[in-house]
């Protein structure tokens, strides 16, 4: 049975990035205070090592187009993502897109496959990839951004939601839970370090 998780860094007022149109090569998260949002990962990595490891511990991933790059038109064949030659995923990554592109094989086991046939097809392909493990189980992670995660939450496809809440207010941007219907969650764990509070919820069905 494949287990589906999602991780999201959010401000205290619920924003995961700046306003949609503000994303650029220089600002992957748009016009928000990215340094404050991600300080726990880069300045305090040792204290948050377990959470960082869990984020890249899945067997397959689904992400939105803007998690892969800032473009919204045809793919730039020279662009290979934000992560350099060896992305941290080390597993199949299915990228939601309106434009076709051949699969992109990277060092370290990451292959980006661009899916133009919708959210459910990308999800099914990730589940199939994760289920190829010898034990028949597997973990799929919905890697974001906020719009993609909201769509998966609304579709009822997430088992476990892991929020990394940072004490900063953005006031505007891409908000988590926008358009998500009412649902019940069970708190599994919480842990605070200097720059972030980690909250894990099981979504009840």
Q: CB 188: neighbour CB atoms within 10 A? A: 12
The pLDDT of 23-27, averaged and rounded, is: 79
Write down the pLDDT at residue 53. 95
Which residue segments constitute the domains of the chain, with CATH numbers given?
2-73+85-188 (3.40.430.10)
Alpha-carbon gap, residue 27 to 37, rounded angstroms: 13
Per mean pLDDT, which range of 20-24, 107-111, 140-144 is the poorest? Answer: 20-24
- Global pTM value: 0.94
Task: Give me the residues paired with residue 141 across strands.
Answer: 5, 61
Q: How many CA atoms lie within 13 A of 1 on its CB side?
A: 2
Task: Give me the residues paired with residue 61 across strands.
Answer: 93, 141
Alpha-carbon gap, residue 171 to 12, rounded angstroms: 10
pLDDT > 70: percent of the chain: 97
Write down the pLDDT at residue 136. 57
The pLDDT of 63-77, averaged and rounded, is: 90
The model's pLDDT over 90-121, given as tens digits with 9 standing for 90+, comes to 999 999 999 999 999 999 999 999 999 999 99
For residue 24, what pLDDT band results from cuts at 50, 70 and 90?
A: confident
Write down the pLDDT at residue 70. 86
């Amino acid at each position: 049975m494949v287990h589906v998780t999602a991780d999201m860094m959010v401000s205290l007022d619920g924003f995961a990035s700046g306003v949609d149109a503000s994303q650029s090569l220089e600002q992957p998260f748009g016009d928000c205070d990215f340094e404050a949002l991600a300080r726990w990962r880069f300045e305090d990595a040792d204290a948050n090592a377990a959470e960082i490891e869990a984020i890249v511990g899945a067997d397959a991933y689904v992400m939105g187009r803007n998690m892969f790059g800032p473009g919204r038109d045809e793919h730039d064949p020279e662009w290979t993502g934000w992560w350099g030659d060896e992305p941290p995923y080390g597993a199949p990554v299915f990228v939601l897109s309106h434009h076709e592109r051949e699969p992109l094989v990277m060092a370290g086991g990451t292959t980006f496959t661009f899916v133009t046939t919708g959210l459910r097809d990308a999800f099914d392909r990730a589940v199939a990839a994760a289920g190829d493990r010898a034990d028949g189980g597997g973990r799929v992670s919905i890697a974001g951004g906020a719009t993609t995660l909201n769509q998966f939450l609304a579709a009822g496809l997430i088992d476990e939601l892991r929020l990394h809440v940072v004490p900063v207010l953005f006031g505007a941007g891409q908000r988590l839970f926008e358009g998500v219907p009412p649902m019940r969650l069970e708190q599994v764990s919480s842990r605070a370090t200097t720059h972030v509070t980690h909250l894990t919820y099981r979504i009840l069905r």
